[in-house]
């Protein structure tokens, strides 16, 4: 960060009084610019025994498959964000959302939250950010072509839990990948 979003003057890093971390502070208006993790919300949309995946039309991980998910916006709940992302990326409506995985990705300052959700119909299509959207049986999941580790992990949990029909909420963290310039999320 170089400039204050309030007044446009330069910022510099200080530890404000009573704080313990370096923050960007405006040299002119003294506004402290806090930077906090972003929440990514998504769904595991199901239709019968099949799961809906989207092939990404945008970077990062263009061409790879993902669960519909994206950054939460101000003014919405996490569940609404997950539904909106499913609508935007897969043109699909889901209901009966149940929180399922909460995965911290601290090396990129993100928290990914996925809900299990039921598709209301087979009426879906590729949204702006998708090349292709389709339903997969478990046997056909393209494990080596999944876009993000949080997606792989959520699907692993889902297929492990499904035979027993019990889906405990999973809260875990993804460790950083060593040796990659741009880590997979
Ligand atoms: Zn300022």
pLDDT tens track for 76-100: 999 999 999 999 999 999 999 999 9
Cα end-to-end distance, the chain, whole Å: 22
* H or E element at residue 117: strand 110-119
Q: Are residues 139 and 82 in the same domain?
A: yes
Does an H or E element contain 108, and which?
none
Establish if 138 belongs to a structural domain. Answer: yes
Q: Does 180 map to a domain?
A: no
How much distance in Å is there from the Cα of 1 to the middle of ligand 1? Answer: 12
Q: Do 126 and 155 reside in the same domain of the chain?
A: yes
> How far apart are alpha carbons 72 and 135 in whole angstroms?
24
CA of 14 to the centre of ligand 1 (A): 14
* Confidence tier at 178 by pLDDT (50, 70, 90): low
Quick: pLDDT tens for 105-160. 999 999 999 999 999 999 999 999 999 999 999 999 999 999 999 999 999 999 99
Model pLDDT, residue 175:
84
Containing structural domain, residue 17 = 1-35
Q: Mean of the per-residue pLDDT values for the chain?
A: 95
In a shared domain, residues 9 and 52: no
The two tokens of residue 63 are 């061409």
User: CATH number of the domain that 151 lies in?
Assistant: 3.90.79.10
- CATH code, domain carrying 26: 2.20.70.10
The token pair at 124 is: 């879906």
Q: How far is the CA of 147 from the centre of ligand 1 (A)?
A: 38
State how many domains the chain has. Answer: 2
Q: How far is the CA of 13 from the centre of ligand 1 (A)?
A: 13
Question: Are 17 and 78 in the same domain?
Answer: no
Strand partners, 28: none
The confidence score (pLDDT) of residue 176 equals 82
Quick one: 30 and 107 in the same domain? no
User: Residues 18-44: pLDDT tens digits?
Assistant: 999 999 999 999 999 999 999 999 999
């Amino acid at each position: 960060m170089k400039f204050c979003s309030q007044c446009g003057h330069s910022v510099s890093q200080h530890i404000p009084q009573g704080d313990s971390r370096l923050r960007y502070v405006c040299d002119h208006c003294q506004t402290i610019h806090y930077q906090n993790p972003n929440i990514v919300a998504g769904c595991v949309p199901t239709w019968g025994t099949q799961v809906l995946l989207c092939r990404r039309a945008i970077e990062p991980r263009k061409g790879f498959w993902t669960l519909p998910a994206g950054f939460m916006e101000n003014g919405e709940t996490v569940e609404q964000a997950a539904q909106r992302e499913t609508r935007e990326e897969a043109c699909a409506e889901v209901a009966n959302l149940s929180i399922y995985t909460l995965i911290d990705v601290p090396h990129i300052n993100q928290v990914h939250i996925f809900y299990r959700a039921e598709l209301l119909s087979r009426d879906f299509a590729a949204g702006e950010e998708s090349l292709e959207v389709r339903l997969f049986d478990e046997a056909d999941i393209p494990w080596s072509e999944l876009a993000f580790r949080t997606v792989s992990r959520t699907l692993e949990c889902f297929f492990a839990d499904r035979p027993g029909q019990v889906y405990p909420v999973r809260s875990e963290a993804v460790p950083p990948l060593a040796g990659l310039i741009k880590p997979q999320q």
